[in-house]
Amino acid sequence: MKMLINVAETVVADALRGMAAAHPELTVDVENRVIVRRDAPVADKVGLVSGGGSGHEPLHGGFVGRGMLSAACPGEVFTSPVPDQMVRAAAAVDSGQGVLFIVKNYTGDVMNFDMAAELAEDEGIQVAKVLVNDDVAVTDSLYTAGRRGTGATLFVEKLAGAAAEEGMPLERVEAIARQVNENSRSFGVALSACSTPAKGSPTFDLPAGQLELGIGIHGEPGRERRAMMTSGEIAEFAVDAILDDMRPNNPVLLLVNGMGATPLLELYGFHAEVTRVLAARDIAVARVLVGNYVTSLDMAGASVTLCQIDEELLRLWDAPVRTPALRWGI
Looking only at the bridges linking them, the beta strands covering 224-227 and 210-213 are antiparallel
SS3 label, residue 48: strand
Distance of closest approach, residue 298 Cβ to a copy of itself, in angstroms: 5
Q: Which is nearer to a copy of itself, 98 or 270 (CB)?
A: 270
Q: Which of 23, 56, 60, 271 is catalytic?
A: 56
The phi and psi torsions of 228 (rounded to 5 degrees) equal -45, 140
Q: Is 282 left (phi over 0), alpha (psi -120 to 50) or beta?
A: left
* Nearer to a copy of itself (CB atom), residue 169 or residue 291: 291
Could you tell me which residues are beta bridge partners of residue 77? 54
Shortest separation between residue 25's beta carbon and a copy of itself, angstroms: 11
Whether the CA torsion 92, 93, 96, 98 is positive or negative: it is negative
Q: Between 33 and 147, name the residue whose CB sits nearer to a copy of itself.
A: 33
Whether cis (ω within 30° of 0) applies to the bond prior to 197 is: no
CA distance 40 to 301: 36
Residues 261, 299 contacting (CB under 8 angstroms): yes
Catalytic annotation on 56? yes
| Residues shown for the chain | 330
Q: Is 60 a catalytic residue?
A: no
**What is d(CA 21, CA 11) in angstroms, rounded to the nearest whole number?**
15
Of the two residues 144 and 292, which places its CB atom closer to a copy of itself in the complex? Answer: 292
Compute the least distance from the CB of residue 65 to a copy of itself, in Å. Answer: 12
Tell me the closest approach of the beta carbon of residue 221 to a copy of itself, in angstroms.
Answer: 18
The three-class DSSP label of residue 141 is strand
**CA–CA gap between residue 25 and residue 30 (Å, rounded):** 15
Closer of 83 and 260 to a copy of itself (Cβ)? 260
User: Which residue of the set 23, 60, 218, 271 is catalytic?
Assistant: 218
Footprint of a copy of itself (CB under 8 A): 2-7, 10-12, 14-22, 54-55, 57-58, 62, 77, 191-192, 208-209, 211, 228, 230-232, 234, 256, 260-273, 275, 288-290, 292, 295, 297-298, 300-302, 327-328
Cβ 181 to a copy of itself shortest distance, Å: 24
Q: Which residues are catalytic?
A: 56, 218
